[in-house]
Structures are given as C-alpha cells and as structure tokens.
Amino acid sequence: MTPLLIYYCLYFILENTFWGFRVLQKARKLGFSTVIGKSDNGGNGRSAFVTLICERGGSYNEYKRKSRRKVVGSVKCECLFRLRGYLLSGGDWNLKVGDGKHNHDMTDVLKGHKIVGRLNPNERVHLQEMMDSNIPSRQMLTNLQKRNCTTSTTIKHVYNASHRYRRSIRGTRNDMHYLLKSLVDNGYVYHCRKYHDSDDVSDVFWAHPYSIKLFNTFSTVLVLDSTYKTNKFPLPLLEFVGNTSTMKTFFIALLI
C-alpha cells in the first residue's frame, strides 16, 4: 500500500521573512498545527535558529514510571514536515522549508489540539476577569466562544489557564498561609489554634459576617455535618448550616 504523502512546501517557500505567528496561522488554515522542535538563542557564538515541526511529528516515548492508566494511542505518527528559521545579521528571520511532506490527513477543525487551542493574551485577561467574578468554568468557555466563534479552545484549556492563574495569585505560600490570607482579605471572622508543643496549626474556624447576621435572625435550626468527602480527603471538615423561615439553607461557618 502506497503511504499517504501531502506536500505543502509551496505554501511556505514564498515566506522570505519568518514570523512564527503568521506561519502558525497559515498552517492552521491548511489543517495542521506546528510546534517548536529545536531552537537556539545564539549564545556563545552560535547562530540563532528555530525549527518548526508538525504537531504529529516524532514518536511517542513512554514514561519510565509506570502509571495506572495505559496509553492506548498517540497523535504522533513521525510526520516529516519541518521548517527552519535563521536569524540574519540585520535582525530579521529567514525561513527555509526542510521538508514539506505530511504522512497523515489534514483536519477541517483543529478543536482539541494543544497548541491551536491555547488562549491568546486578550482571552487570558478576559478569563482572569471572569475568575475574579466567580463565574463557573463552563460559562467561561461559552463566553470565550461567543467572543471568538472560530476558537478551538476546549474546557481543558480553560481548566489549565485557571489553575495557572490561581497558582500565580497564591505565589510561594503553602495551603494554610494562603487560607489565612484569604480570610483576612475577604473580611471573614476566624479563629485558629495550634498545638502546644509546636507552631503547627491544629484547627481553623471561620465565618462570613453576613452568615452571622443570618444566624442571629434565624437561630432556631442548626445542622452540623462532618462527613464531607472524608474518604477522598483524610481531613475532617465540620459544616454549620442554618435554615431560614422560607426553608432555605445557608452556610454559617466552617471548621477544619
């Protein structure tokens, strides 16, 4: 059987000046995505260059550490496509086609591809604003799709960007330091105790001032529950829940 070969070198030969974003856009229109295979910034007398390959180039390498989930497939199919950009003496980049052949079919929709689905800087700023407003992740993805109907972003990209944003806010603080800082910044009423023989925190109690007002108004029913995901997290969490006159429940306080 004759192997599948698709030639796309003519689309990039005329690109005398190298612009990574423009090459990515052109590849996206043709039905594939490019990633950086090799690069060098030109230090120690070396010539600066960057090699762009197809996202499906190379072969899958299994991890040395065994995992529970076995990989049943990979997008890697040793695609031959390769572009190489060189830094000229004037500061511009020159593009040359190393190999313009693909050994796989092109896709009409690049949804689910890691590189194509990444958020651009404007989308990241918009996502951070939505996170500050406590908008659910599914609604974030819907809003991004409304702003850009041609986006290939998936819910996984939204989760990853949200995780990176939370990690940047948290900084180098550990779990307890970040919890206490959040309680202070948001005006919670809290109290913590530590072990007698060390400085480690033994338990923390916190409540929102508005929840305290609700409890002072509706103090007839008080429900305590400490079985929240105790099998998943080996840490007891005690919840204080109240009940209004209209049979609506509300959180009063938490103890961990």
State which residues form the domain around 45. 1-60+73-108
Task: Tell me whether residue 212 is in a domain.
Answer: yes
Convert the pLDDT of each residue in 173-218 to its tens digit.
888 888 888 888 888 999 988 888 888 888 889 999 999 999 999 9
Structure tokens at 50: 């960057």
Residues 82 and 94 in one domain: yes
The pLDDT mean for the chain works out to 79
Task: Tell me whether residue 65 is in a domain.
Answer: no
Residues 128 and 152 in one domain: yes
Q: Which of 171, 189, 209 is the last residue of a domain?
A: 171
Whether 153 and 123 have beta carbons less than 8 Å apart is answered as: yes
Comparing CA positions, the residue from 256, 254, 228, 227 lying closest to residue 241 is 254
Tokens 């029913």 belong to residue: 221
Residue 20 has a pLDDT of: 56
Q: Which of 171, 191, 215 is the last residue of a domain?
A: 171
When divided into structural domains, the chain yields a total of 3
Task: Tell me whether residue 67 is in a domain.
Answer: no
pTM score, two decimals? 0.60
Task: Tell me whether residue 100 is in a domain.
Answer: yes
Residues 34 and 4 in one domain: yes
Convert the pLDDT of each residue in 139-169 to its tens digit.
888 888 888 887 778 888 889 889 999 888 8
Convert the pLDDT of each residue in 32-55 to its tens digit.
778 788 888 877 778 888 888 887
Residues 142 and 198 in one domain: no
State the DSSP code for 155.
H
Residues 133 and 230 in one domain: no
Cα–Cα distance measured from residue 21 to residue 126, given in angstroms and rounded to the nearest whole number: 21
Cα–Cα distance measured from residue 115 to residue 153, given in angstroms and rounded to the nearest whole number: 10
Sign of CA dihedral 162, 164, 167, 169: negative
Question: Above 70 in pLDDT, residue 109?
Answer: no
Beta strands in the chain (DSSP E): 6-7, 34-40, 49-54, 82-87, 93-99, 101-102, 189-194, 201-207, 222-225, 238-243, 249-255
Convert the pLDDT of each residue in 6-22 to its tens digit.
555 555 554 555 555 56
* Residue 45 burial (10 A CB sphere; 0-12, 13-18, 19+): exposed
